């Protein structure tokens, strides 16, 4: 069993390492999806796979057990929308090459418009 101090130190170290993209030319983005019907979750996940082929910067981390799965880049945490029953929302930070993020932004915006929900991709 790991003591709380060691666990905090380990998480802090892993967090600091994963916040700095290790692959050159990556940028950070925030995907914000609101009031999406639940049935489209897999479609959106497929867009992520299709438009973000570059490896995540944390993939070269050797100790996967130390990574918090709920905050990992490859995990999309969907939440039930309180304002609209039967829909879900998510807000996810991820990294990608600028062109990949731009292509995802266009594909996701088009899909959201066609299906009647809100989706944005912001770069920072």
State the pLDDT at residue 124: 83
Q: How far is residue 59's CA from residue 18's CA, in Å, rounded to a whole number? A: 9
In DSSP notation, 55-110 reads: PPGGGG-S-GGGS-GGGSTT----EE-SSSTTEEEEEEEEEE-HHHHHHHHHHHHH
State the pLDDT at residue 55: 64
> Could you give the domains of the chain?
4-123 (3.30.70.260)
Span 65-76, average pLDDT: 56
Determine if the pTM surpasses 0.75.
no
């Amino acid at each position: 069993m790991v003591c709380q101090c060691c666990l905090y130190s380990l998480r802090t170290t892993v967090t600091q390492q994963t916040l700095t993209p290790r692959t050159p030319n990556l940028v950070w983005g925030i995907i914000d999806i609101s009031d999406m019907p639940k049935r489209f979750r897999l479609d959106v996940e497929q867009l992520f796979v299709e438009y973000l082929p570059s490896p995540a910067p944390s993939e070269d981390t050797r100790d996967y057990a130390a990574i918090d799965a709920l905050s990992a880049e490859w995990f999309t945490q969907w939440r039930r929308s309180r304002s609209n029953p039967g829909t879900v929302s998510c807000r996810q930070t991820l990294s990608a090459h600028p062109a990949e993020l731009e292509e995802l932004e266009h594909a996701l915006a088009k899909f959201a418009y066609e299906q009647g929900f809100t989706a944005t991709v912001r770069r920072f």
